[in-house]
Amino acid sequence: MDLIGWAIFIVALLVSVMLHETGHFVLAKKFGMKVTRYFVGFGPTIWSTWRGETEYGIKAIPLGGFVKIVGMHSLDDPDDPADEARSFRSHPAWQRILVLCAGSAMHFLLALLLLFGLALGVGIANDNVTQLGTISPCVPTSLTAYDNGTCGSGAPASPAKQAGLRPGDVVTAFDGHPVSNFTQLGDAIRDVPPGSGVTITVRRDGQLVTLHTKLASVSGRSGSYLGIGPGVLFQVASPLGAIEYSGTTFWQVLAGSAQAVTAVPRAFPKLFAKNPSSAPGTGQVITVVGAAEATGAEVASNDGWQYKVSFVLLLIASLNIFVGAFNLLPLLPLDGGHIAVIIYERIRAWLARLRGRPDPGLANMAKFLPVSFSVFIVLMLFSLVLVASNIVNPVNLTGG
């Protein structure tokens, strides 16, 4: 089941990449630009075929994709001079900007459709409750046992079991701190070091009961372990409610992504700490590897199908929102960097007109190559460090 979760995430990632490139491709064709290649992946070509003037294909390394549009910048001369009129650079600035934005627009559209389908088909999870759905009988002896929902030989009773927690209990406070939803409860559990004694206040049969236990840890998993699962209630939304949910969640994820990016410098020194999420404001930074691992763990868990589908769809939608927004940052070689160059060209042309001078034309991309290459190297190194941190400290996106 864990491998099935990984497969689901990888397929979803490849579909997202294809849709991104399809956005560039379709709009470029719409404006009459010549598109010569549409490929998924990088490296050696595994398969390709020609349809009209465009070669479609698959490459060996499925870590992205690309669309080749003739004359993307001043350094890209068409093989046939007759194609210059159909080159990217020969079209109006507004058309070029729309083509560059189309990739991110496809990410946003996919995310909105996933959120709409989730609300209309699976239902919206009521996270504003802390009712327990499952109580683990033991502390898993390994990360594999944790992912598979098994105990392992000689596994001790879970802290939740020792405390006497029961399915249906509603947690009102954890270690003296009030909690009103499962996200708060999960954060509170992870903020307390393993081995610490805690109190848990629950509402049971209309009465408040205070229980005591000592948190445990699972080998290979960051944060403390209590051994609980949510009893999430799902309510199918109306079409209008699904639209409202899609828009609200989209902006919440977008704002959260911006906050996460700004918090990275603070979190960076703790990425390889034994418990990277133990200090407030220094939670783990999730990468594609971490997201794939979290998807696999959720699919392999004992949670109900609604919770599994909701988790996976929300994760894929969130990833698409983040990638779409990140791609629009004004940094070369991102699409946002190329958009910034076009805006720079138009501002320069406007200033030239004010001075009665001719349009300076396209920017000399050769001057931007060192900057573009430097940004690319920094992003690659940064990504590798974050991926390594997710491998050393597996991501935990569930409760405890």
Q: How far apart are alpha carbons 388 and 36 in whole angstroms? A: 37
Residue recorded with tokens 């079991």:
161
Neighbours of 221 (CB within 10 A): 19
Residue 85 near residue 219 (C-beta atoms within 8 A): no
Q: How far apart are alpha carbons 127 and 183 in whole angstroms? A: 7
- Calculate the dihedral angle through the C-alpha atoms of 318, 322, 323, 329, rounding to the nearest 10 degrees: 170
Residue 253 near residue 318 (C-beta atoms within 8 A): yes
Told to judge if 21 belongs to the known catalytic residues of this protein, a careful annotator would answer yes
Q: How far apart are alpha carbons 392 and 397 in whole angstroms? A: 16
Q: How far apart are alpha carbons 342 and 100 in whole angstroms? A: 10
- Which residues partner with 399 through β-bridges? none
Q: Which residues contact 163 (CB under 8 A, 6 or more apart)?
A: 200, 211, 212, 213
Q: How many CA atoms lie within 13 A of 234 on its CB side?
A: 17
299: left (phi over 0), alpha (psi -120 to 50) or beta: alpha
In degrees, to the nearest 5, what angle opens at C-alpha 377 toward C-alphas 281 and 322? 45
DSSP string computed for 184-196: HHHHHHHHSPTT-
Q: How far apart are alpha carbons 123 and 311 in whole angstroms? A: 12
Distance of CA 364 to the CA centre of its chain: 35
Neighbours of 350 (CB within 10 A): 10
Query: Residue 384, exposed/middle/buried by CB under 10 A (0-12, 13-18, 19+)?
Result: exposed
| Marked catalytic residue, from 21, 293, 298, 345 | 21
Query: What is the set of active-site residues?
Result: 21
